[in-house]
Structure 1
Amino acid sequence: MALPTAAALYAIGTAHPVRQALAITVIWVLVGLAARRYAPWTWDEGAPVGPIVRDWLVLLGALAVVRAVSGLGDAHAEVLAALCPALSATVVCRKVIHRHILAVRRRARSLRRVLVIGEAGAVDAVVGQLAERTDHGYVVVGACVLGEGEVLSGVPVSARLQVGAPTAPDEDAAPVAEAAEAFGADLVFVTTDRHMCGDRLRRLSWALHDRGRRLMVLPGVVEVARRRVRIASAAGLTLLDISPPTRRGLPTLLKSATDRAGSFVLLMALAPLFVLLAFAVRLSSPGPVIYRQDRVGRDGTPFPMWKFRTIVVDADRLKSDLAAANEHDGHMFKLRRDPRVTTVGRFLRRYSLDELPQLVNVLLGHMSLVGPRPPLPEEVARYDQVEMRRLSVKPGLTGLWQVSGRSDLSWHETVSLDLRYVDNWSPAWDMRVMARTVRAVLDGRGAY
């Protein structure tokens, strides 16, 4: 904050640029401390831009108050403009630091050791959920299991706790405290159920806090963005208020307008590339340049989706003959070496160039720039109730599936990514996905 602010103040000829930059920096640090931006757990949320911008606006208000109290008057527009580079520098720094933290965690470093308390199935579920991803800072080192159930995840079990109400009020305290000490746990996860709640959970928290151990309660809700969660209380009860997914209002109107405008601009800008690709497809094999395929959109509405043709003309007829060779574990049909794909088609698929005509689908409102992958009707016919939720929003030209590995992902991973997007969509998330799309296209991983 200090360096870019001092440089900007000096460039515009403000008096005492270094002193002003130092004062601004001190206020900025105080704002961050008040908002708890330096707490270790903040890095588990990633490095979102929104909180930093809000802190920056608070900084502007604090500077206005300081100048008014000190008799300096209102800040000049030049001084306010000098703070803009500092905002950009702060955002970039936090993004770089977060990427570094993720890289360190992938090497199993800088992790907090966790002791899990709950029934055997709940312990296995927590271990499995944490093991699926590396973008968090926790590693399970042990468990205290309620009852005699078998823990299948391989986590060492230090103690067995009574299933029903304990005979003594503090019966859980000693074995849990000993387990946390033996495993060197930094904090304790407690999965709540009918056996571990209310007064029992309260007394356990007392015992852990008195021994300097932190306690986290797992309510059982998964894949909910933190911005959708609010803690409330009523009559001594702690309430978890989860806001519904964004489906209407100004954000959705903004998304629709961005889709239409963005697709129109891209179509105009990429028109020469369309001509070259169409010429290459035409020369590569006999048949039409554009391949039309029926897909299923929002709320199960079918629509025609267009792509540059990457397969031979009778590919749909040959698909049934290749069904036994399907390499995907879900409803999708995928072959790494699909004999139906032409030579030019392999190149187009490698860099996702065959998807470009779907910009017309976006312009017509069938699709969005960002969203789940548009499924085929025969795939949707086999969906269960959970998988049908993928159709709650418009399918996208790109999405979490495309930037996370595409066809290399299992069906479970594909559905999980799509549901995470459906439930937690935001304009900022769309921007991040589109930024990651460029790297994913150049990388080409999972594109076949």
Structure 2
Amino acid sequence: MITISPNISSSDSRVTNDSDGIVVRSTISPDNAQADPPLSTRNDGTTTVSILARQLSDAAKRAEAPTGQKNADPLEPITDEQYFANKAQHDAEIPTSNNPELLARARQATGFLNGYDSNPFKGLGRDQLNLVARDKGGAFTVNERRAAWETVQSMEPSGALSPKPATNVGREIMISRLFLGREPPVALPSATSADALQKRNEFLTHDDRALISDMYAYVQSEGADLSHVDLLVSALADYRYYNDGRQLISNNGYYVDEYWTTFDFKPEDAAIASRILSSSALSSTRIDQGFVRHVLDPGIGAFSHIGGIPFLERMVKKFSDEGADQPPLGSEYATFKHAKTADHIVTTTHKDIKLPPSEALFEVVNGVWNLTEYGKAAGYVLDVANRRVYKPDDPPNDQIRPRSNVNGPDGDAPDSSLLDALADTRDPPQARWLLPGHLFKLMKNLKP
């Protein structure tokens, strides 16, 4: 049985009607000797306590009062599977009061549980934390109670409680951040139209999820921003979704403004990528080696894993046979900064490699049909009325019937049919649509 010794004694306090707080004399148990009660001193010399202290005092009274449900476990709503089953509801819960302090603390507790804010109950003793975790009076949100309980679990063993294993903490973070509280079964690749609406994270394997859980636990224990793990997970989920990258084609270059253009990591990232691929840790790392090589291909990673290479190196080494010898994460990982594409991609335009001249015989500009210079030089003639391209010396059945440019705004040819378009394949398309180049231009010109 666990005996709760509240930091603030409910039997030895006197309450005033002052709006600044309540005046109390606190009783600190030996277990809580390291924790100072949330007190403040007023101008008249009396000591006041904060709203949190008032709540703790009320929670202590409720803990002492018989409830008639001795068999009910007050921790069940915050530790059982039903907590994660209703995770979205708990994250949206706010206090009924409009007090800014209560609202801020509730938001902070939710942020703490989801890995992007600090612990709102840091500094409280075990007895005080137990009061929050076990209180069912409605003074605290479910996430506040859960945050207090996790804090207790992280302490040294005391009584019937034992510290919460880091793997469990990481798994709960993983389920919360990737699956919103309910872990789905592993989806099977490859990517098809049937699973286009399925979330990429669902394709992460059981081994992936176990590793990611350990990553979250490690990064949180180091005080680093969990978004670094999120970025790595996003790239890994894409890799799994596309059948371990088999359905993705490396972008080794394409024509931009008529010149062959290639893309690479910036020099610092390229050096780290080379170091990872040649490191001894790669052979023993728990991170899928195929994925590591995949994402370190500039034709893939330069666009899909922007700015994440330094963190990837730390994780490859940490979760390898060399992990015990790795230094702690530095302050550079305390805050996650979204990387800009232009800052992490080196673009090289090869002026010596130009787009081959078009061999189209005709073109349509603003609805006007004309022969191209190539068509004229080859001796072709355009019959505008019938929209036919031919050489005067060719027999009639060899005349080329221009197709409507399906990719351009040239209008429909009144005498063209789908069968005509399918049958006539002798002349190449008049325009070359280089989607990757167009996409990169949009990314480059996009203003945040």
TM-score interval, smaller chain: under 0.3
Which is strand-richer, 1 or 2?
Answer: 1
**TM-score using structure 1 length:** 0.21
Which is helix-richer, 1 or 2?
Answer: 1
**TM-score using structure 2 length:** 0.21
For the pair shown, which has the larger CA radius of gyration, 1 or 2?
Answer: 2
